[in-house]
Amino acid sequence: MRRRQSACRRQVLWLANASRPSRHQGRLPALVKARANTRGTPCAPVLTVILRTRLRSRYPGPMPTFDVAVAGAGIIGSAVAHACARRGARVLLLDRDQPGAHASGGAAGMLTPSSEADAPGPFLDLARHSLSLWPALAAELLEESGVDPELVLDGVLRVAIDDGDLVRLKERCAWQQAAGLTCRRLDRAALTGSEPALASPLAAAAVYPDEGHVQSARAVQALVGAARRWGAEVQSGVEVVAVDPGGRVRLAGGGTVLAGAVVIAAGAWVSRLTALPVRPVRGQLIGVRGLPRLPRHVLVAGRRGYAVAKRDGLVLVGATEEDAGFDARVTVAATEALLQTGRRLLAGFADATLAHSWSGLRPRTPDALPVLGPLPGHPGPIPVLVAGAHFRNGVLLAPATAAGMADLALERRTPPDWAAFDPRRFS
């Protein structure tokens, strides 16, 4: 008993010292870690009083109810909520619809840095780093939520359909090898043996053995479930209409939320909560069943499109890029174009059955890079952050985005390689 009291006293003294505003200049890490470290201990009530006393000295107005409020429950917002909750923060995740109801819920779930970066640089580095985080994250999510995101890393084949594609393929593989990517070229004979599901004839391909895909809807479901397990509160059907410079989140219907940090992760609707130049780009894809052979790899044919087989036998073929504003309707023209892509890529495609058509809005900036960091025009002790404009790469970039945003929200620490994605570049 004395040992427990002594340990409790040491913990109280540590927290009283570590959470002093003079030491942390308004930072949250000691407070959040202290709350996580003392849950369920005999001294928890005393520590709670100390925490609230210290917090009151930091916030001139009403006390925040949450450490972090996240606006938007697509894959980015859900991943940020999970990362913050896992570190012990009190998290509120808000969405005007259901989690994953828009682009994240129907995406192909591609994890293909080789296809998304056109040159070495910060974006390729971020994409590769995020891909490296997916195996550990997928295992954590299965354990914490019971939902398998269905991570598959069986490789990507980037195929050349004609001689022009072949020239570009050689050039692309050369600079990617120089940048450190694992890339191996296959001639026509080797390609046929490596991927029997391909239509023929195709000129050549490059194989990227470390890349793959997840089931995006299940990934969102797993992230939300795991965040809830770590104590996050998830509210669906709640629309965020504004975030004040002081960090107050205003909701449709007149409600408000106070948090120690706010993360705007509203996908294609980021521009409605900020002045950032983020616009929606409509992407459509189709799903087919009944192919004689399912592709073993993710198949990418440059800007012509891609095909990827999921565990349940559905083969997704995508995707268009259309300037259609906020119109997310499926169109006959896009479906016909995607059927043509499937016929060019996959053997026996003409006999397959169209089972699925989908359309979603992907957020894009003028430079096609995401916006990650402090939102311009929001000074003060409560950070207002934005995690958006991931365009085609929300699923790929979710793990790295979540880890970096948790650093920013909870520790006020910006990842060292995020300068290229700073939202203030558009100020």
Q: Is residue 329 over pLDDT 80?
A: yes
pLDDT band at 393 (very low <50, low <70, confident <90, very high): very high
Check: CB of residue 67 under 8 Å from CB of residue 260.
yes
Phi, psi of 125 (to 5 degrees): -60, -45
Q: Is residue 96 over pLDDT 50?
A: yes
CA dihedral defined by 328, 330, 336, 341, rounded to 10 degrees? 50
Look at 390 and 190; give whichever has higher pLDDT.
390
What is the structure's pLDDT at 202?
Answer: 81
Length of the chain: 427
Instruction: Give Cβ neighbours of residue 140 (< 8 Å, ≥ 6 apart).
Output: 226
Check: CB of residue 127 under 8 Å from CB of residue 180.
no
pLDDT band at 163 (very low <50, low <70, confident <90, very high): confident
Handedness of CA 95, 140, 107, 355 (dihedral sign): negative
Q: List the end-to-end C-alpha distance of the chain, in Å, as a whole number.
A: 59
What is the structure's pLDDT at 21?
Answer: 40
Question: What is the Rg, in whole angstroms, of the alpha carbon atoms belonging to the chain?
Answer: 24
Instruction: Give Cβ neighbours of residue 230 (< 8 Å, ≥ 6 apart).
Output: 82, 85, 86, 91, 144
Chain segment 8-17, per-residue pLDDT in tens: 555 545 454 5
Chain segment 240-272, per-residue pLDDT in tens: 999 987 788 999 989 999 999 999 999 999 999
Q: What number is the average pLDDT over the span 45-49? A: 53
Q: What CATH number was assigned to the domain covering residues 59-150+215-275+368-427? A: 3.50.50.60
Does the domain at 156-209+279-364 match CATH 3.30.9.10? Answer given as yes
The distance of Cα 385 from the centroid of its chain, to the nearest Å, equals 15
Separation CA 257–CA 237 (nearest Å): 15
pTM score:
0.87
Domain boundaries, the chain: 2-58, 59-150+215-275+368-427, 156-209+279-364
Separation CA 207–CA 157 (nearest Å): 5
Do the domains 59-150+215-275+368-427 and 156-209+279-364 sit in the same CATH topology, yes or no?
Answer: no
